[in-house]
Amino acid sequence: MRIIFMGTPEFAVASLEALLNAGCNIVGVVTAPDKPAGRGQKIHESAVKQFALSKGLEVLQPLKLKDPDFHDKLRSLKADLQVVVAFRMLPETVWDMPPKGTINLHASLLPKYRGAAPINWAVINGEKETGVTTFLLQHEIDTGNILFSKSVPISEQETAGDIHDKLMQTGATLLVDTVKAIESGDYTPVVQPEILPGETELPHAPKIFKEDCLIRWNQPVEKVYNHIRGLSPYPTAYTVFKEKTLKIYSAEIMDKEPGIQPGGFLSDDKSYLRFACLDGFICVRDIQMEGKKRMPVEEFLRGFRN
């Protein structure tokens, strides 16, 4: 089959590489336009573009996905199938173009966690497992008929970053299996249920904004802990400490009655910094004060005594 691949971040690179290693015929790659980034505002190319160019693949970077010239270029590539991994929402004129349709790899066990941040929300909500799903694109986002899925456990210590890396590899393998099944015709699409047995509503995964990252200490300690690891390493949970933003990348739970108000803290000025929640303490381990580099709490306390 002639395949067009669409994706932008590192998460998508693993899938593109796996398809190439499996001998798939990638006739074009669509990714985000280059943009300035960082303090120097240097022009930044997406991870997918950098990898695609290193493999000699043709790269398309449309500013607008509804651009007629972009559509003409897609048609000229005569793709049988389009594959989407971590890309923008496509207009119907694009996803309905190939004869075998367009498939998407989503980092959750659909229909749970439809949306932009499925990995973060699964960890934030304390899920014990998540996974990856391949499905056929249709009008409503992440609602198309399911092709294949594979579950992955979430341990109590794993962060969103840990799960991202696991799903990136698991998803790449599942995507290759899905493409092979489509090529052979050995698959049966399954309609996504609107609700799951024993559930009253489906959990969603909307885009995360800065206000979602603020830690609310007047909650159970386990909920605060899941919030921290669900946002680590990015976009990172934070609190306000000594009138400055303090990002918290990793922490541990201390099951001990706080004895102080939620949000209050205890420290020995050298080895620990503990924030009180409703029913225990969060012991921070890896942090970053506004204007400073990321560091272990011990190093932070050495320069921030009393």
**Cβ-based neighbours of 130, under 8 Å, separated by 6 or more:** 107, 108, 109, 113, 118, 119, 122, 151, 152, 154, 163, 167
Residue type, 13: V
- On whether 20 is known to bind a ligand per the annotation, the reply is no
Q: What spatial distance separates the first Cα and last Cα of the chain, rounded to whole Å?
A: 66
| C-alpha–C-alpha distance, residues 306 and 301, integer Å | 9
- On whether 108 is known to bind a ligand per the annotation, the reply is yes
Structure tokens at 242: 């000594």
CB atoms within 10 A of CB 32: 19
| C-alpha–C-alpha distance, residues 104 and 87, integer Å | 9
**Cβ-based neighbours of 23, under 8 Å, separated by 6 or more:** none
- On whether 111 is known to bind a ligand per the annotation, the reply is yes
Annotated binding site: 108-111
Binding site as annotated, residues for (6S)-5,6,7,8-tetrahydrofolate: 108-111
